[in-house]
Structure 1
């Protein structure tokens, strides 16, 4: 027989899983100039300009279901949440995101608050592993560390 607490925890985990599945094709674009009263179409156009001009991707085949700003206008540009039609497009964009190095634009995956917090908590261990010369990265909510391979 399940206890009440176990049942609630299990339901919370299932809910978090479903939320992350619904965000599976989403990316968050941070640092793109924000206009007050920006429409979804204007946000989509700005994202496509970044994809085309900065990442050198052909945007003709990349279908964006929706692109909208998140949060309240303030001092810094609000992030744009982009829901892509295809997961493959998301993967291609993330592969090219390294071309944004040196710009003020960042592209990240969209996760639930629970996963975002887990990833944030893993950051110090990630930095420490990289300082030790290890290959380290975060995949979903897990830290992956391996020794740097040397080619002789």
Structure 2
């Protein structure tokens, strides 16, 4: 009976060892499968990432090209605002624009100088703006140079910017206000903010830092003025004249030099007298 129990225990022990080995082998297989799966997924992810980067670069290049083409397409455009909306046809609108430019800009312009005109936006109470495409860039430049002639009228004109540039210019307006508050003369040219010069005459916005700086400057100015005042008072004191000089007062530096020279001579004579007496 005991032998049977011992045999059963041995069998149970062997079964337990086999179970543990099976579990270990199963864990190893699972680990290897997981590593292989991760490796395959990582390779696929890298390929997808590479494709994504290439597509992103292509999209960016395409956006740049579209932006450049749109900029070139709008290069000869001018947007007119405030012109009454009374035209009944395209020809009528074109003739109105030619008459308007001749009247306010004193420019000899003809229908052949205009490539296209069109109103933009929804029709409402106010007249819609008119986009005018000129046949040459030179005509557009001359018109933009003389836009100040519309200063005292209800009309005005602007560049025809792409939507991206308009958005960028709105963002730059806030930055331009900050620079103007600092006293800088700024201009927005297309989609960039240009600081022309610094205007020191304008007062800076008040702040604790500016107040402390102003107090320090005033103290320095006061100390400087007091120092200058003391110097002028010292220079106004009467200067002793020497009989050996016929004209003019002796400068303080000359007085010091003479006094030091006399003292040195006196001490030298005293030393010589002492030596003589000792002999």
Alpha carbons of structure 1 residues 133 and 88: separation in structure 2 relative to 1, 3 Å? farther
2:105 corresponds, among 35, 38, 55, to 55
Q: For each residue in 1:44-102, what CA deviation from the matched residue of structure 2 results, as whole angstroms up to 9, or x when unmatched? A: 22222221222222224970011111122112111111010010100000000011113
CA contact (8 A) 1:62 1:89 kept: no
Contact residue 32 and residue 46 of structure 1 kept, 8 A: no
Q: Whole-Å Cα distance in 2 between the matches of residues 59 and 143 of structure 1? A: 34
| TM-score, normalised with respect to structure 2 | 0.48
Aligned to 1:12: 63
Higher helix proportion (structure 1 or 2): 2
Number of the residue aligned with 1:139: 189
Is the Cα contact below 8 Å between 1:70 and 1:79 reproduced in 2? yes
Q: Which runs of 5+ in 1 are unaligned?
A: none
Deviation at 1:140, TM superposition (A): 1.8
Judged with a 3 Å threshold, the aligned counterparts in structure 2 of structure 1 residues 99 and 130 are, in CA distance, closer, same or farther, namely farther
Q: Which runs of 5+ in 2 are unaligned?
A: 1-49, 200-279
Q: Give the Cα separation in 2 of the matches to 1:138 and 1:8.
A: 28
> What root-mean-square deviation, in Å, do the aligned CA atoms of Structure 1 and Structure 2 show?
2.4
- CA shift, 1:6, in A, is 2.8
Query: SS at the partner of 1:144?
Result: strand
Q: 2:84 aligns with which of 33, 42, 46?
A: 33
- Native 8 Å contact 2:77 2:131 kept in 1: yes
Higher strand share: 1
Change (3 A) 1:76 1:135: same
Which one of 67, 88, 107 corresponds to residue 138 of structure 2?
A: 88
Structure 1 residue 138: Cα displacement = 1.9
State how far apart, in whole Å, the 2-side matches of 1:10 and 1:38 are. Answer: 43
Distance in 1 (CA, whole Å) between partners of 2:179 and 2:104 is: 30
Change (3 A) 1:55 1:130: farther
Question: In the aligned structure 2, how far is the partner of 1:138 from the partner of 1:49?
Answer: 31
Structure 2 residue 129 is the aligned partner of structure 1 residue 79: yes
Number of equivalences: 149
Q: Quick one: higher RCO (CA 8 Å, sep 6+), 1 or 2? A: 1
Q: CA 1:97/1:132 → structure 2, altered by over 3 Å: closer, same or farther?
A: farther
TM-score normalised according to structure 1 size: 0.84
